[in-house]
Amino acid sequence: MSRRLVWSVLVGAAAVGVAVSLVLTLVVDGGDDGKGRRQVASSGSPTPGLSQQSGVTESPTEPTATTPSPSLSTPVLPVGYESYEDEEGFRIAIPEGWTRSTVNSQFGIAVVNYRDAAGEHRLQVYQVAEDSPDASFELYLSDETPKPQGFEELDLQNLDDGGFTGSRLEYLADSIKGEPDVGTWHVYDERFVAADGNIYAIAAYGPDSDGRDDELEVLTTALDWFCPPLGGCDPAALD
């Protein structure tokens, strides 16, 4: 069962009660607990296919492995990915070997970042304060919201489809505060209503020089596997 089909059953029964403010402007300080549970995935076929934060110094740690919960209704993880149950309460799929760090937020869950060993690829998860994904992007793209240096919008898609509500922004940036110099950054940032009725963002960052398919694969795999803190999702399927 795809994430859109799961959400089409559950999202309609949930109430979205959020304050109108940009979550990225609410990041106040850094922290790192590194606590969570990894689930080792079996082999599968790869799926084709991070939002700006403050430059807080973070100390990455590696989460801990655990036993998976089988189900036949969720997608199979691509080779090289593992299911991870984050301490913030959500489930997600991340590339194997990536480390976790957090930045505190004044709204919703902490901003959670997963990075590769070189720090040149990042997956970011946070809760959105605006009352819809489109409203969140409207505020982010407005003149009142600071952008990364060299920000260039490539595409903004509304992905609403039946019970699923979400939008995806693709952009480039010359630099991102607190991140290494990789040349031009390429970013996919998707904001959506999850199964618990709250709005979340998942964003994938990487160097534009190595192509753009890798960011899309990291993003779509994370989205397919995502289950929010208040649940409403099927257990993870690993075979």
Give the per-residue pLDDT at 234: 67
Instruction: Quote the pLDDT of residue 232.
Output: 73
pLDDT at residue number 74: 55
Query: Tens place of pLDDT for every residue, the chain, 239 residues?
Result: 444 433 433 334 333 333 333 333 333 333 444 445 444 333 232 222 233 333 333 444 455 433 333 333 556 899 999 999 999 999 999 999 999 999 999 899 999 999 999 999 999 999 999 999 999 999 999 999 999 999 999 999 999 998 899 999 999 999 999 899 999 999 999 999 999 999 999 999 999 999 999 999 999 999 999 999 887 776 654 43
Per-residue buried b or exposed e for 7-46, using 16+ beta carbons within 10 Å of the residue's own CB: bbebbeebebebeeebbbbbbeebebeeebbbbebeebee
In DSSP terms, 188 is beta-bridged to: 170, 204
Cβ neighbourhood burial of 206 (10 Å; 0-12, 13-18, 19+): buried
SS3 3: helix
Predicted pLDDT at 23: 37
> What's the pLDDT at 34?
45
Q: Specify the pLDDT at position 36.
A: 56
* Helix extents (H) in the chain: 3-10, 133-140, 213-225
